[in-house]
Amino acid sequence: MDAKDMGADLDRILVTEEQMHTRLREIAAQIDADVDNTADSPLLAVGVLRGAVMVMADLTRYIHTPLEMDWMAVSSYGNSTKSSGVVRILKDLDTEVAGRDVLVVEDVVDTGLTLDWLTKNLASRGARSVRIAAALRKPECLKVNVQVDYVGFDIPDEFVVGYGLDYQQRYRNLPFVGTLAPHVYGAE
């Protein structure tokens, strides 16, 4: 899917495909430099379904250090657009995290409540370390002081789609990050 397929539904592009990939290469190099190669087991990259599929696929391919991948699906109680911080695990990891260096890979940090809960949950299982990489962050929306170790781009407080992010399950397969025209939401 590309901008042409969006027609008038696309408002504007915030992060192009090229910008995202350039930044992910930089982040991968930082991760390679930060990984503790003396650890007993390889880095465990944990992607948060479904939005992190694209960033997980691209970021991990730029990382040279050996790693394993696993996935979690979580759902936040609350309304559909804002998370409440009360999180339910829909799909848990298949991997034992005790003693592992974990890299949580997320699409966007909005309030930060989901990641705050997730990092505490992984730490309580005995992870040796928990770091976070997020393609996007909305600094104006943060409600908790969650430390995001690797951030692709800080973006304004706007609802975005593409690069894994959806509106009503659509637009995840856009290669860039953009905003939607008001008529898509039923407003003018």
Do the Cβ atoms of 112 and 146 come closer than 8 Å?
Answer: yes
- With CB under 6 A as the contact rule, the residue among 110, 118, 122, 127 that binds ligand IMP is 110
Name the residue nearer to ligand IMP (CB basis): 159 or 185. Answer: 159
Q: Does 119 bind ligand IMP (CB under 6 A)?
A: no
Q: How far apart are CA 90 and CA 71, in angstroms?
A: 11
- With CB under 6 A as the contact rule, the residue among 31, 72, 127, 160 that binds ligand IMP is 160
User: Is the link from the previous residue into 23 a cis peptide, with omega within 30 of 0?
Assistant: no
Closest CA to 105 of 159, 67, 160: 67
Residue span 64-83 as binding mask against ligand IMP, x where in contact by CB under 6 A, dash where not:
------------x------x
Q: How far is the CB of 54 from ligand IMP (least distance, A)?
A: 12
Q: Does 162 bind ligand IMP (CB under 6 A)?
A: no
Q: What length does the chain have?
A: 188
Strand partners, 153: 136
Give the interface segment with ligand IMP, choosing from 1-9, 35-43, 58-66, 103-111 (CB under 6 A).
Answer: 103-111
- With CB under 6 A as the contact rule, the residue among 60, 111, 132, 152 that binds ligand IMP is 111
Do the Cβ atoms of 90 and 67 come closer than 8 Å?
Answer: no
Q: Does 178 bind ligand IMP (CB under 6 A)?
A: no
Q: Does 122 bind ligand IMP (CB under 6 A)?
A: no
Residue 98 has a CB neighbour count (10 Å cut-off) of 9
Catalytic residue among 58, 101, 110, 116: 110
Active site residue 166: no
Q: What are phi and psi of 22, to 5 degrees?
A: -60, -45
Residue span 30-69 as binding mask against ligand IMP, x where in contact by CB under 6 A, dash where not:
---------------------x------------------
Q: How far apart are CA 111 and CA 78, in angstroms?
A: 13
Q: Between β-strands 87-91 and 150-154, what pairing exists: parallel, antiparallel or unpaired?
A: unpaired
Tokens at residue 183, please?
């008529």
The site for ligand IMP (CB under 6 A) is made up of 51, 76, 83, 106-114, 159-160, 165
Residues annotated catalytic, as ranges = 110
